[in-house]
């Protein structure tokens, strides 16, 4: 079976992304931004379209880092 990344979405909101291997990150672009404050720092633009940017990475323990 191929390796999978599972994106858990509920009510239009990503709740979790599971299975991100070490060394890989998942960039999420949510184009449903009409009700957001346009000055919010994580809003970006690509090809004239605004989107909410989020970067998901493996948990620290999966990267070999100590947990607090």
Return per-residue pLDDT of the chain as tens, 68 residues.
677 888 887 777 888 888 888 888 999 988 888 888 878 888 999 999 998 889 988 877 765 444 44
Domain borders along the chain are: 22-61
pTM over 0.85: no
Identify the pLDDT of residue 59: 78
The predicted pLDDT at position 67 comes to 40
Question: Under a CB-based contact definition with an 8 Å cutoff, are residues 51 and 45 in contact?
Answer: yes
d(C-alpha 20, C-alpha 5), whole Å: 6
Query: What's the pLDDT score for residue 47?
Result: 93
Q: What span, in angstroms and rounded, lies between the C-alpha atoms of 38 and 60?
A: 31
Instruction: Please report the pLDDT score of residue 48 as a whole number.
Output: 92
């Amino acid at each position: 079976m191929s390796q999978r990344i599972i994106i858990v979405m509920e009510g239009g909101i990503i709740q979790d992304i599971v299975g991100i291997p070490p060394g890989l990150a998942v960039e999420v672009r949510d184009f449903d931004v009409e009700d957001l404050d346009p000055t919010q720092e994580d809003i970006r633009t690509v090809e004239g379209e605004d989107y909410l940017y989020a970067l998901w990475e493996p948990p620290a323990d999966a990267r070999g880092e100590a947990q607090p």
